[in-house]
Amino acid sequence: MTERNAVIEPDRGQAAIALHLVDKAGWDSLLRALSEGQRAVLAAQKFAAAPGDVAIVPDGAGWLALGGIEPRAALGTWCLARLAETLPGGTYRIVAHPAQSGVPGLAAALVGWIAAQYRFDRYKTDGASPEPRVLLTTDLRAIAPAQAEAGAIMLVRDLVNTPAEDMGPAQLETEARALAKRHGAEIHVATGDALERDYPMVHAVGRAASRHHAPRLIELEWGDPRHPRVGIIGKGVCFDSGGLDLKPSAGMALMKKDMGGAAHALALAGLVMDHGLPVRLHLLIPAVENAVAGNAMRPGDILRSRAGLSVEITNTDAEGRLVLADALTRACAAGPALLIDFATLTGAARVALGPDLPAMFARHDDTAAALSAAGLDRDDPVWRLPLHQAYRDWLKSDVADLVNSHATGFAGAVVAALFLDRFVGNGLDWVHFDTFAWRPTGLPGRPKGGEALGLRAAWGLLLARYGRDA
Ligand code: MN
Ligand code: MN
């Protein structure tokens, strides 16, 4: 991680390649400042100062680089990402920028510069990774936060991209233990009989997996107990076959990513502890594989939850809400000031909003507004969906307190959120993210594959609410 983050360095006047940022508006004046030979090289490379355009031109004995950026007042997170992907390896210094007074927003762009150089090559045996592109900055205070945020993004990508055989419940536990050790946090993991007794629905969902991928409830606590308690929960379904209500091949293909919520939760907890945010952190990850075996839970089974409510299983593929429910019950008992969960919970959220926008549910309007604002501020947009109480009726069961999956098929993301809502203490400030954790098509700085979506919006909210400057 440290190595990958090292592509940002303090500018101490060391040798570096000059990088001119230019937008369409500034293109003419920059052209006039270049020599005839340089203009000819640019024309040959078809450089037109469009966002993402990159060109290299000779400059004395060496060369300089030009990068096209969007004509906006400040740099956004991803505006340098294409440059970071396509420039030759080396060390760069931004020497010119359309907004002549320094480089506004560079701190945000540093995140994109780092994250753009992410590669998932753990399983590749051919070829060396490209030489890093290092960017110098004089804004020394921006370096560590950018490295932390980019590191959190890349952690989510790594965890999600790793196939289920190598990222099962045991490996999620290993990740959580490493995180706890790094920050001196307490960690407790419930398995076996303790899991069956204390987190019965986590056990019921995960019990059909092989012993190697046995279910567990991972719980981490950190920080001064006098500080406001923040609960963070992540759905850790390391592989979701659908259970006995087996998914078809197309629906199962990406299900290594069904622990994406856990990846977001681990990454967010890491940001909290790395920053030293003055909160009492309570991280909970129900980690399971939803597998098929003779002891798998069946349609029609009735589960007892940690909260005491009984749940009729109408679809074994609606397993995420079951494991989350027990974790939410535990988190609420500790009395959090704020509770956030992340889950790759429903396809319906994707039908509604597509892959880019995580569905966000919040009980409190001010929390929802703060999250939306933080998402826009960090180029990590989220979109609020309603906890429409009338649909609670769709969760009624003939034989138990609740069904886990409703029959109408309408508003699947909303009804899943309402299921969780039943397990969250009254009046508690709770936020639920139904996130895809995956990018089906690459964008600058954001390759196809596992992705953090909603992570930095949530981090922005925590910083705004609990940061020392708040
Ligand atoms: Mn499922
Ligand atoms: Mn699932």
Domain range enclosing 113: 4-138
What residues contact residue 17 under an 8 Å CB cut-off, 6+ apart? 62, 63, 64, 65, 90, 91, 92, 93
Whether 32 is catalytic is no
Smallest-distance ligand from the CA of 245: 1
Task: Give domain status of residue 311, yes or no.
Answer: yes
Q: How confident is the model at residue 148 (pLDDT cuts 50, 70, 90)?
A: very high
Cα of 21 vs centre of ligand 1, distance in Å, is 46
Round to whole Å and give the CA distance between 51 and 34: 20
pLDDT at 137: 93
- Look at residue 252 and tell me if it is in a domain: yes
Does one domain contain both 381 and 443? yes
168, 184, 327 from 215: Cα distances, Å? 9, 25, 13
Q: Kindly give the distance from the C-alpha atom of residue 342 to the centroid of ligand 1, in angstroms, as a whole number.
A: 15
- Both 334 and 266 in one domain: the answer is yes
Residues 311 and 175 in one domain: yes
Say if CB 47 and CB 67 are below 8 A apart: no
The single-letter DSSP state of residue 100 is: -
In a domain, 143, yes or no: no
For 120-188, where are the alpha helices, taking DSSP H only? 140-161, 169-183
How does pLDDT run across 48-79, given as a tens digit for each residue?
Answer: 999 889 999 999 899 999 999 887 767 889 98
Query: What pLDDT does residue 104 have?
Result: 62
Instruction: Mark which of 80, 115, 138 sits at the end of a domain.
Output: 138
Q: Does 22 fall in a domain?
A: yes
Q: What secondary structure does DSSP assign to 44-84, as a single string? A: HTT----TT-EEEEEETTEEEEEEE----SS--TTTTHHHH
The Cβ of residue 11 has, within 10 Å, a number of other Cβ atoms equal to: 15
> What are 73-109's pLDDT values in tens digits?
678 899 899 999 999 999 999 987 765 545 667 888 9
Instruction: Over range 136-159, report the average pLDDT.
Output: 95
Q: Answer yes or no: pTM beyond 0.75.
A: yes
Overall domain count for the chain: 2
Alpha carbon separation from 258 to 161, 162, 222, 437 (Å, rounded) = 11, 11, 26, 8
Tens digit of each residue's pLDDT (9 = 90 or more) over 375-434: 999 999 999 999 999 999 999 999 999 999 998 889 999 999 999 999 999 999 999 999
CATH number of the domain at 55, please: 3.40.220.10
223 and 300 part of one domain: yes
Mean pLDDT within 204-231: 98
- Co-location of 104 and 198 in the same domain: no
Q: Which residue has the tokens 């909003």?
A: 353
Q: Are residues 440 and 332 in the same domain?
A: yes
* Catalytic site residue from 247, 363, 384, 392: 247
Q: What share of the chain is helix, strand, coil (3-state, %, to 5)?
A: 40, 20, 40
Strands 8-10 and 133-137: parallel
Question: Based on the domain organization, do 450 and 357 belong to the same domain?
Answer: yes
Same domain for 28 and 95, yes or no, is yes
Residue 1 has pLDDT above 70, yes or no: no
- Kindly tell me the number of DSSP H helices and DSSP E strands found in the chain: 16, 20
| Structure token digits, residue 372 | 């939306």
pLDDT for res 2: 46
Same domain membership, residue 165 and residue 108: no
For residue 313, which ligand has an atom nearest its CA? 1
Query: Which residue, 81, 110, 138, sits at the end of a domain?
Result: 138
Average pLDDT, the chain: 95
316 inside domain:
yes
- DSSP string for residues in 272-301: HHHHT-SSEEEEEEEEEEE--STTS--TT-
Of 4, 321, 422, 446, the active-site residue reads 321
Cα 344 to ligand 2 centroid, rounded to whole Å: 7
- Shortest-distance ligand to the CA of residue 241: 1
246 and 350 housed in the same domain: yes
Residue 179 domain-assigned (yes or no): yes
> Does residue 34 fall inside a structural domain?
yes
Whether residues 307 and 160 fall in one domain: yes
Strand ranges of the sheet holding 302-304, from the earlier edge strand across to the other edge: 302-304, 310-312, 402-403
How much is the average pLDDT of 208-227? 98
- CA 317 – ligand 1 centroid, Å: 4
Which one of 106, 138, 170 terminates a domain? 138
Give the pLDDT score at 99.
58
Structure tokens at 389: 């109480």
Judge whether 235 lies within some domain: yes
**Whether residue 193 sits in one domain with residue 50:** no
State which amino acid sits at residue 175.
E
Distance 320 CA to ligand 2 centre (A): 5
Listed residue (55, 58, 80) closest to 66, CA to CA: 55
Helix (H) or strand (E) run with residue 133 in it: strand 133-137
Quick check: is 93 catalytic? no
| Strand 359-362 with 430-434, pairing | antiparallel
Indicate which CATH number applies to the domain containing 445.
Answer: 3.40.630.10
Q: How far apart are CA 400 and CA 119, in angstroms?
A: 48
